[in-house]
Every structure is written in C-alpha cells, then in structure tokens.
Structure 1
Amino acid sequence: MKQYVIYAFDATDENALNRRMAARPLHLETVKQLKQNGNFLIGGAILNSSEQMIGSTMIVQFEDEASFQDWFSNDPYNTMGVWEKVEINPFRVATIE
C-alpha cells in the first residue's frame, strides 16, 4: 500500500468556514468509508490559535496512485471549494516492535 500525508489549508475568504461546515458531513461520510476500507489511518482538523478549523491533515493509504487520486479529487472538501492550498507527500508509517 502507498501511504500519503496530506496538509490541506482552507480558503480564507469570508465564506470559507461556511463552506467547510456545509461540506463537513459529506467529507466525514467519505472518511468513514475510507476507514471501513482500510484507507484512512489518522486525520483531523488543523486549528488556529482561536481553535477554529482552518484546514485538515490526513494520513491515508491506497493500493496505487490512481485509487488515491480518484478519492482525493472527489472528496467533498475538494469538490465544494473548502481546501485552497494542499500539500501531499509520500509517507511511511513507522513499524515499532
């Protein structure tokens, strides 16, 4: 499985938080499905100093790049204009024995 770490920062316009909150239930449903399929390892919201959500961090894994891109391009946070700046890097979860 290929693993990825995603740092995704929300847009900063005046409607950004409203878009996030509108997309959030759909995004969480998508993440629940990822978890059931073994694709979601860990994730959550990035917070500012006022503890408001301003982005997301996720570690996910997929069989191949095409499967990852299919999920990522169709995630509601992408399709509904929540994420503005995204950094995706290959990742490897450490095996601790």
Structure 2
Amino acid sequence: MYYAIIAEDVDNSLDARMKARPAHLERLKVLSSEGRLLIAGPHPVNDSEEPGPAGFSGSLIVAEFASLQAAKSWADDDPYFAAGVYKRVLVKPFKKVLP
C-alpha cells in the first residue's frame, strides 16, 4: 500500500537541508529503483520552484511500504529528520486514484 509522508520543516532549514540532501536523495533513489516511489519533492516557501534563500517549508513523499509501521520507521530514519530539518512528520495511508 502507498503511504504519504508529509514533513514540516523547522524555520530557516535551508542550510541543514542542503547538507543532508545527498543522503536524503540516496534513500529516495533506492525506493525508486525498487519501483516503490510514486512521488517526492519539497514545498517551496514562496510561489516558485526555485525559492532561493527563502528555502522550503517541508516535503512530501508518497511511496509503497508493507505497513504503516514500516513507513513510519522509514520516515524516522530520514537524514533530514536526523539533521534537524523536520520539526514534524505525519505518515498516513494513501490511496492513488488518478492518473
């Protein structure tokens, strides 16, 4: 089943985010190579795909896991969480309808 991992950043997270980004992306690449990643990306602070120094306010990952607990465990091990980028992470089931 798919699960949505919805993360909210701490204020001024850009520096910590950039430092942890390579490790964060490597984990997402593993999910993708296993065919389990539906979508992933950050939420820009402003109305721009490239928000510059304003940075990001959080992230969204939708991926397939064996259970809600497995999804939560995966999210808990995210390098952004370990680096203090995320202040809050919500994990919940997701049902893909379209496309």
TM bin, normalised by shorter chain, reads: 0.7 to 0.9
Correspondence 1:34 to 2:31: yes
Q: Offset at 1:75?
A: 1.2
The one-letter code sitting in structure 2 at the alignment partner of 1:5 is A
Q: Aligned residues, how many?
A: 93
C-alpha distance in 1 between matches for 2:91 and 2:67: 15
Q: Which runs of 5+ in 1 are unaligned?
A: none
Distance in 2 between residues matched to 1:95 and 1:21, nearest whole Å = 32
**Aligned-pair Cα RMSD in Å:** 1.8
Residue 92 (structure 2) pairs with residue 89 (structure 1): yes
Render the CA deviation track for 1:22-46: whole Å, top value 9, x for unaligned: 1111000110001112221101110
Asked whether the equivalents of residues 2 and 65 of structure 2 are also in contact (C-alpha less than 8 Å), the reply is yes
Counterpart residue number, 1:4: 3
Q: With structure 1 as the length reference, what TM-score do the two structures score?
A: 0.82
Is residue 71–residue 91 contact of structure 2 (8 Å, CA) maintained in 1? Answer: no
TM-score (norm 2): 0.81
Structure 1 residue ranges, 4+ long, deviating more than 4 angstroms after superposition = none
Of residues 41, 44, 47, the one that matches 1:47 is 44
Unaligned runs of 5+ in 2: none
Q: State the 1:66 CA deviation.
A: 3.6
